[in-house]
Structure 1
Amino acid sequence: MRYYALDVLACPYCHAFPLKLVVLEERRSPMKYPWPSKPFCDYVCAFRGVEVAKCESCECEECLSREVVSGVLVCPKCGRWFAVVEGVPQLLPDEARDFDAERALLSRFREKLERLDPEVARRVFGEASHVGGTGQAPGRV
């Protein structure tokens, strides 16, 4: 998943925008910047983690040269979390998700996620992420 995807992705449940991204693994994948002007994104610079209007220096070339391989997307409104697996955001309805499989895929990044965002890590891996732990659906933070 390229960072610029967050410029168009919204929560499939409550349609909140933008989603928060916690990057667990990325790879360099050079891509020439072919557009005549900057910034590339219209609303959010996910690479810098700010709104485009507040982005003082656009690093579009650097952003386009990176690809998120593994991570977690979090909705700021309803709190659902979605895994990014092999570069693909898993934006599926709760009833179509296999939360145990998603957690298993993310488990190799558990320590990194705990360091980067302890609250998201607690929800993804902790007891609160199971139905009954907080009374919330399993994918909710």
Structure 2
Amino acid sequence: MAADAGTVRVDVWIWSVRLTKTRSAAASACRAGHVRVNGERVKPAHPLRPGDRVRVRNAGRERVVVVSRIIRKRVGAPVAVECYSDHSPPPPPREAVAPAGRRDRGAGRPTKRDRREMERLRGMDGGPRGGTS
């Protein structure tokens, strides 16, 4: 079955316009149900035409784009943005995203000094070290 001249596979297109990093990631996203065309979940080989609305969930963010031009080869970012019009919701503000790996001083696991102080306060002091008298 020959493909129409004005269509391209959805996984190839979302990879070509840089919505995913690799073509295999684009195909995996389609199989996992993270890609919708005109509101319907699609397989990687689904034909895509100009005017189709593509919704891609990737890396914790949802992108909603309308296809304006069909391309089959991966292109640079300036050319890629000309192939679709972006209708994505704005990303969450940076303040809403908690920074990873940062904590207040003193929060988290207690130090050895803190543990000794807690044991002393609880009355769990084992007496002098080194002996069991």
Tell me the TM-score normalized by structure 1: 0.22
Q: Flag the structure with larger Rg.
A: 2
Structure (1/2) with the larger helix percentage: 1
Higher relative contact order (CA 8 A, sep 6+): 1
